[in-house]
């Protein structure tokens, strides 16, 4: 169990770093009214500057990248948080939601390295949480027989 907790903390750190990295890039053609030429503009998407605060979209983006930090702090303050089955299920659901939100942030355009770091972090966190959850269930059901 200790190893998975360390893996989850490292994944949390990488997800926080990905918050400030470029997630995607797209090219838009914009007509120039003065020269009547079509100019190409490159738009790079960053999670921290995607939507202005306060808005529901900005809140969703912050939750996508920062919820693992809350669980890491909670597990440091109260180690009994790691042993709760309900917490593991909530973490799994948040991983799935974060994956969906990352998809919506990056589905238009070309993926940049920040998207790969974020998706990899969520994937590793999901796997580590699944292993912890399976161990808890095995332990709980093994004691009942």
Instruction: Say which CATH number the domain at 46 has.
Output: 1.20.140
Kindly report the pTM of this predicted structure.
0.85
* 145 found inside a domain: no
Q: State the residue range of the domain holding 71.
A: 2-139
The reply to whether 144 falls in a domain is no
Tens digit of pLDDT at every position of the chain (145 positions): 588 889 999 999 999 999 999 998 888 888 877 777 888 888 888 888 877 778 888 889 999 999 999 999 988 898 777 768 888 899 999 999 999 999 988 887 888 999 999 999 999 999 999 998 888 888 878 766 5
Please check whether residue 77 lies inside any domain of the structure.
yes
96 alpha carbon, distance to own chain's centre: 9
**Count of domains for the chain:** 1
What are the tokens at 22?
């470029």
Contacts of 78 (CB under 8 A, 6+ apart): none
In a domain, 48, yes or no: yes
Q: Residue 86: what pLDDT?
A: 86
Indicate whether 92 belongs to any domain: yes
């Amino acid at each position: 169990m200790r190893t998975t907790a360390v893996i989850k903390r490292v994944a949390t750190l990488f997800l926080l770093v990905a918050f400030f990295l470029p997630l995607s890039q797209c090219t838009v053609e914009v007509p120039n009214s003065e020269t009547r030429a079509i100019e190409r503009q490159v738009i790079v998407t960053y999670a921290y500057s995607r939507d202005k605060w306060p808005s529901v979209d900005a809140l969703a983006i912050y939750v996508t990248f920062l919820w693992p930090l809350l669980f890491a702090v909670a597990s440091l303050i109260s180690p009994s948080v790691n042993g709760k089955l309900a917490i593991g299920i909530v973490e799994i659901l948040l991983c799935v939601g974060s994956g969906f939100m990352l998809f919506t942030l990056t589905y238009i355009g070309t993926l940049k390295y920040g998207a790969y770091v974020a998706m990899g972090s969520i994937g590793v966190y999901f796997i580590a949480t699944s292993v912890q959850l399976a161990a808890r269930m095995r332990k709980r059901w093994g004691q009942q027989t």
